[in-house]
């Protein structure tokens, strides 16, 4: 530092210049992603030394083309086989099992029961079906006239009984370990979730409880062993004053529920419920994105890979996919190669413990892996838009050298550009070769405040930590 602290000429050490961290939280100032800091198609990992690294998100490779150009409607692993629904047909390990399924209500949800002949149960809220893995029953509605019409999505299997819920928040139970035979759904075997008068949205299980997600509340039920009627009884004191805004937003990850939530103020957020404890996991910036978003079509899925667990939610009409890293409690945006929403509708795994994703419309299943650096033939476009940096002074800074701190990988290049006017305009791209020992740019201009946009599209791994800068400080 110069002797006169009022007129510094350069940073106090040119041998140890400051580093600009790249790890950021989404900080959009309004309901768009056109401005402000964000991370796209990547995620963050904390090292043992406390350093923060940015990794490219996992990529996709082809697993199976099950039904060409048919919409994906759900996948599930059961008894050693991967079941998938495309269009109106269900497949077992890629082989057609049956067709003629209902196509009116999007992605199916799955469950199973036990008993002498275990059944895979699946439904989309319009129709429900069951299969022993070789044949598919007709819609459960038609097998037994007592089966509740117009159930919401989701099943809950508890102590031998399978539970479903109607939009009127009436919860029905099957016979013990049987769902698709005449008489399996008795007209007296029901209980109503009625602490509040809101309707039912989704039914699931958590711990030893049946959980009814409703329009603005959540209610819990336990198996009371009642000899007649429903075995269930309401758990007193476990009401949650947040409901579920969309049935297709619900995922259960390590027995924690994640979903798009809403309360009686009609404000959308994202919530988790762990052992009956509710928590808002969306940030104010994420809430701003959700404030006016179109929720007509929502997809959600989950991924646990490389020590990270992700809850992913897509708003199709809003052209937005958000990925929440449960491990790091951070949000990211994931896209396709063109910058649109990430077109995946469901996730599962197979007998080889591979993570399988189902495409929205092309009839494909994909393996997702940290060893894949593209989405099949499409590049993964990683975008890192940094916060605005001014070195805590309004003085002009002459930037002499900018070095990228990250892994040295042959064939890996970065594109960098800068904005000196609050993200309004950007400079031309400049290329940094990450295969070099000292990947850097020189003669980077003068600025008062600056943000950087870093882009990586190469078919290589990517791990970045910071930008290291050397500059001289001038006058106001």
pLDDT at 219 (0 to 100): 98
Q: Which residue has the tokens 């819609």?
A: 139
* DSSP letter for each residue of 1-46: --SSTTS--B-S-SSS--EEE-------SSS-SSSS-EEESEEEEE
Instruction: Compute CA distances 461 → 43, 230, 308, 370, 414, whole Å.
Output: 13, 54, 17, 9, 12
Token output for 273 = 């419920």
CB-based contact 230:173 (threshold 8 Å): yes
Bridge partners, 90 (sequence order): 85, 98
Mean pLDDT over residues 314-339, rounded? Answer: 97
**Residue 142 vs residue 444, higher pLDDT:** 444
| 250-277 confidence digits (pLDDT tens) | 999 999 999 999 999 889 999 999 999 9
Mean pLDDT over residues 68-74, rounded? Answer: 97
CA-nearest of 159, 83, 161 to 122 is 83
| 396-452 confidence digits (pLDDT tens) | 989 999 999 999 999 999 999 999 999 999 999 999 999 999 999 999 999 999 999
Q: In this structure, what is the dihedral angle of CA atoms 41, 42, 43, 45, given to the nearest 10 degrees?
A: 170
pLDDT at 59 (0 to 100): 98
Mean pLDDT over residues 106-124, rounded? Answer: 95
| 366-380 confidence digits (pLDDT tens) | 999 999 999 999 999
DSSP code of residue 288? H
pLDDT at 18 (0 to 100): 66
Residue 19: which residues within 8 A CB-CB, separation 6 or more?
A: 405, 466, 467, 468, 469
DSSP code of residue 138? P
Q: How confident is the model at residue 303 (pLDDT cuts 50, 70, 90)?
A: very high
Distance of CA 374 to the CA centre of its chain: 19
**Residue 13 vs residue 175, higher pLDDT:** 175
Q: How confident is the model at residue 51 (pLDDT cuts 50, 70, 90)?
A: confident
pLDDT at 26 (0 to 100): 86
Q: How confident is the model at residue 5 (pLDDT cuts 50, 70, 90)?
A: very low
Asked if residue 118 has pLDDT above 60, the reply is yes
pLDDT at 11 (0 to 100): 38
CA-nearest of 378, 403, 467, 450 to 41 is 378
Tell me the whole-structure pTM to 2 decimals.
0.94
What percent of the chain lies above the pLDDT cut of 70?
A: 96
Q: Report d(CA 160, CA 221) in Å as an integer.
A: 15
CATH topology of domain 59-375: Methylamine Dehydrogenase; Chain H (2.130.10)
Bridge partners, 160 (sequence order): none
Q: How confident is the model at residue 15 (pLDDT cuts 50, 70, 90)?
A: very low
In the chain, which segments carry CATH 2.130.10.10? 59-375
Largest CA distance in the chain: 92
pLDDT at 412 (0 to 100): 97
Q: Report d(CA 106, CA 220) in Å as an integer.
A: 27
Minimum mean pLDDT range among 118-122, 268-272, 333-337, 388-392? 388-392
pLDDT at 6 (0 to 100): 43
Asked if residue 10 has pLDDT above 50, the reply is no
Strand positions, DSSP E, 93-155: 95-98, 109-112, 120-123, 128-131
CB-based contact 367:354 (threshold 8 Å): yes
Q: Report d(CA 258, CA 274) in Å as an integer.
A: 9
Q: How confident is the model at residue 8 (pLDDT cuts 50, 70, 90)?
A: very low
Distance of CA 114 to the CA centre of its chain: 30
pLDDT at 148 (0 to 100): 92
Q: Is 461 helix (H, G, I), strand (E, B) or coil?
A: coil
Asked if residue 50 has pLDDT above 60, the reply is yes
Asked if residue 13 has pLDDT above 80, the reply is no
Q: Report d(CA 249, CA 235) in Å as an integer.
A: 25
Asked if residue 17 has pLDDT above 80, the reply is no
pLDDT at 46 (0 to 100): 87
Instruction: Compute CA distances 112 → 78, 146, 345, whole Å.
Output: 8, 20, 21
Q: How many CB atoms lie within 10 A of CB 48?
A: 5
Q: How many CB atoms lie within 10 A of CB 255?
A: 11
State the chain's mean pLDDT as an integer.
93
Q: How many CA atoms lie within 13 A of 201 on its CB side?
A: 22
How far apart, in Å, do the first and last CA atoms of the chain sit? 17
pLDDT at 376 (0 to 100): 96
């Amino acid at each position: 530092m110069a002797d006169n602290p009022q007129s510094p000429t350069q940073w106090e050490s040119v041998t140890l210049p400051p580093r600009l961290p790249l790890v950021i939280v989404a900080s959009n100032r309004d309901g768009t992603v056109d401005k402000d800091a964000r991370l796209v198609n990547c995620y963050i990992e904390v090292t043992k030394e406390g350093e923060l690294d940015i990794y490219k998100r996992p990529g996709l490779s082809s697993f199976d083309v099950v039904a060409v150009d048919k919409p994906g409607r759900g996948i599930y692993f059961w008894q050693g086989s991967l079941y998938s629904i495309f269009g109106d047909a269900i497949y077992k390990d890629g082989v057609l099992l049956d067709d003629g399924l209902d196509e009116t209500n999007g992605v199916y949800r799955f469950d199973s029961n036990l008993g002498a002949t275990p059944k895979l149960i699946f439904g989309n809220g319009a129709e429900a079906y069951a299969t022993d893995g070789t044949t598919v029953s007709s819609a459960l509605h038609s097998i037994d006239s007592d089966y509740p019409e117009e159930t919401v999505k989701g099943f809950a299997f508890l102590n031998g009984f399978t539970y479903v819920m109607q939009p009127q928040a009436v919860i029905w139970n099957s016979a013990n370990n049987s769902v698709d035979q005449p008489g399996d759904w008795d007209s007296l075997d029901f209980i109503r979730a009625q602490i509040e008068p809101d309707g039912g949205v989704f039914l699931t299980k958590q711990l030893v409880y049946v959980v009814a997600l409703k329009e603005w509340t959540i209610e819990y039920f336990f198996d009371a062993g009642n000899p007649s009627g429903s075995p269930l009884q309401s758990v007193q004191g476990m009401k949650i004053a947040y409901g579920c805004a969309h049935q297709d937003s619900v995922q259960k990850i390590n027995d924690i529920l994640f979903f798009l939530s809403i309360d009686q103020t009609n404000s959308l957020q994202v919530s988790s419920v762990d052992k009956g404890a509710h928590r808002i996991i969306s940030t104010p910036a994420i809430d701003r994105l959700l404030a006016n978003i179109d929720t007509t079509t929502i997809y959600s899925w989950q991924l646990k890979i490389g020590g990270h667990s992700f809850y992913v939610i897509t708003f199709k009409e809003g052209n937005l996919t958000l990925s929440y890293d449960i491990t790091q409690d951070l949000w990211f945006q994931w896209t396709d190669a063109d910058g649109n929403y990430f077109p995946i509708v469901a996730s599962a795994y197979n007998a080889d413990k591979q993570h399988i994703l189902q495409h929205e419309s092309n009839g494909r299943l994909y393996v997702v892996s940290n060893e894949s650096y593209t989405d099949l033939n499409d590049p993964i476009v990683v975008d890192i838009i940094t916060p605005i940096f001014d070195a805590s002074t309004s003085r002009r800074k002459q930037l002499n050298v900018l070095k990228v701190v990250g892994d040295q990988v042959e064939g890996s290049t970065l594109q960098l550009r800068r904005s000196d006017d609050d993200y309004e305009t950007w400079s031309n791209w400049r290329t940094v070769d990450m295969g070099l020992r000292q990947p850097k740019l020189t003669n980077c201009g003068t600025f008062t405040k600056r943000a950087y946009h870093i882009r990586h599209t190469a078919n290589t791994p990517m791990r970045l930590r910071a930008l290291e800068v050397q500059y001289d400080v001038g006058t106001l």
